[in-house]
Amino acid sequence: MWHIYQFPLCPFSRKVRLLMAEKGIAYELQTARPWEGEDRLFAMNPAGRTPVIRETDKGLVLSDSRAICEYFEETVDRYPLISGTAQQRAEIRRLIAMFDENFYNDVSGPLLLERMKKRLVFRQAPDAKALRESMKLAHDYLDYIDYLIDNRPWLAGATMTLADLAAAAQLSVADYLGGLDWSSHEQARGWYLVMKSRPSFRPLLSERMEVIQPPSHYAEVDA
Ligand SMILES: N[C@@H](CCC(=O)N[C@@H](CS)C(=O)NCC(=O)O)C(=O)O
């Protein structure tokens, strides 16, 4: 059995959980709070970051969401999520990088700092200017998703891929933290509602981070 060391609002852990659920790989959740500098987490991942996954029977420990996702993509045939021609795979990887790196640095990372870490760790109020800036940048990413969905059924092309899971994982954290205004983003909203309706997404939507509550629309799949 796989164990995932994570916390409910880690977007990289969310991506791994979505991929494992889509591929039908069972797992159990273990809470890890990287900001507490736990020895247990550093012993498994010297980078001190979530997610880490551990297979108890095989004694296997993997870290870094991209390394983990590629591991399952290479070892589990069910539901390929980085597939197609070399050009199509490059497009999937480009979009994964955009959401894992750019979106996280511009939107979900700052929101996690302002709305979660400052509250739980630093006991500080969020910086209103930083929140406004990340919400403004979020609007640009939603515009880009509108554009992609105007031109293709899924973000990277004709089928659902890891790019959709990576993007939805990051967006779901930003949405939980009240950082997304979906009005005037019909295509992005429609695509995200389809993602939210998938059985793989349901467990994520029902989880809550201690003391931080999401807006009412967060878990709705028909709104
Ligand atoms: N590239 C890594 C990024 C992982 C990452 O940044 N995780 C965050 C939580 S979402 C973390 O553990 N940060 C360290 C901290 O908060 O101290 C991956 O894809 O797994």
For residue 37, the ligand 1 atom closest to its alpha carbon is 17
pLDDT in tens, 112-122: 999 999 999 99
Query: 53: exposed, middle or buried (C-beta count within 10 Å: 0-12, 13-18, 19+)?
Result: buried
Tokens of 156: 């990277």
What is the rounded CA–CA span in Å between residue 64 and residue 131? 27
Whole-number Å distance, alpha carbon 50 to ligand 1 midpoint, is 5
Confidence of residue 222 (pLDDT cuts 50, 70, 90): confident
Closest protein CA for atom 6 of ligand 1: 49
- pLDDT at residue number 223: 61
**Tens digit of each residue's pLDDT (9 = 90 or more) over 16-28:** 999 999 999 999 9
Supply the DSSP symbol for 29.
E
What superfamily would CATH give domain 2-75?
Glutaredoxin (3.40.30.10)
The percent of residues above 90 in pLDDT, for the chain, comes to: 97
Report the pLDDT averaged over residues 160-184: 98
- Count other Cβ atoms within 10 Å, centred on residue 119: 16
Ligand 1 contact via 12 beta carbon (within 6 Å): yes
Q: What b/e sequence results for 91-111 when a residue is b if at least 16 CB atoms lie within 10 Å of its CB, and e otherwise?
A: bbbebbebbbeebbebbbbbb
pLDDT digits (tens, 9 = 90+) for 79-110: 999 999 999 999 999 999 999 999 999 999 99
The mean pLDDT value of the chain amounts to 97
Q: Per residue in 124-135, pLDDT tens?
A: 999 999 999 999
H or E element that contains 189? helix 186-197
Please state the domain extents for the chain. 2-75, 86-201
CATH topology classification for 86-201: Glutathione S-transferase Yfyf (Class Pi); Chain A, domain 2 (1.20.1050)
Whether 49 lines ligand 1, by a CB cut-off of 6 Å, is yes
Measured in whole angstroms, how far is the alpha carbon of residue 162 from the centre of its chain? 11
Token output for 193: 């509602």
Strand-pair partners of 28: 3
Which residues does residue 84 pair with via DSSP β-bridges, in sequence order?
Answer: none
d(CA 45, CA 83): 29
pLDDT in tens, 75-86: 999 999 999 999
Count H helices, E strands: the chain? 9, 4
Q: Can you tell me the mean pLDDT for 164-190?
A: 98
Q: What is the mean pLDDT of residues 54-78?
A: 97
Q: What is the pLDDT of residues 199-218, one digit of tens each?
A: 999 999 999 998 899 999 99
Give the nearest ligand 1 atom to 64 CA.
20
d(CA 116, CA 146): 28
Pick the atom of ligand 1 nearest to 9's CA.
10
Share of the chain above pLDDT 70, in %: 100
